[in-house]
Amino acid sequence: MKTLTQKVHNFSAGPGILPQEVLQEAAEACINFDNLNLSLLEISHRSKNYVKVMDEARQIVKELFEVGDEYEVLYLGGGASLQFAMVPYNLLTENGYAAYLNTGVWASKAIKEASILGNVKVIASSEDKKFTYIPKNYTIPSDADYFHCTSNNTIYGTEMFEFPDSPVPMVCDMSSDIFSRKVDAKKFALIYAGAQKNMGPAGCTMVMVRKDILGKTGRKMLSMLDYRVHIKGESMYNTPPVFPVYVTLLTLRWLKRNGGISWIEERNKKKAEMLYQEIDRNTCFKGTVEKEDRSRMNVCFVTTKPEYEPLFDEWVKQYNISGIKGHRDVGGYRASLYNALPLESVEVLVEAMQEFEKKYAS
List 106, 177, 271, 293, catalytic entry: 106
Nearest CA to 89 among 280, 221, 196, 254?
Answer: 221
Establish whether 165 is a catalytic residue. no
Of 145, 197, 226, 293, which one is the catalytic site residue?
Answer: 197
Residue 76 pairs in a beta bridge with 205
Per the annotation, the verdict on 106 as an active-site residue is yes
Which residues are annotated as catalytic? 106, 173, 197
